[in-house]
Amino acid sequence: MPELSRFLGIVIYMNYREHPPAHFHADYGEYEITVDIATGVVTGKFPRRALNAVLEWYSLHKEELAEDWERAIRKLPLKPIDPLE
Per-domain residue ranges of the chain = 3-73
Q: Mean pLDDT throughout 22-29? A: 97
* pLDDT over 90 at 18, yes or no: no
* pLDDT over 80 at 85, yes or no: yes
The reported pLDDT for the residue numbered 16 is 85
* pLDDT over 90 at 6, yes or no: yes
The reported pLDDT for the residue numbered 19 is 84
Q: Mean pLDDT throughout 47-53? A: 98
Rounded Cα distance, 11 and 32, in Å: 10
Q: pTM of the predicted model, to two decimals?
A: 0.94
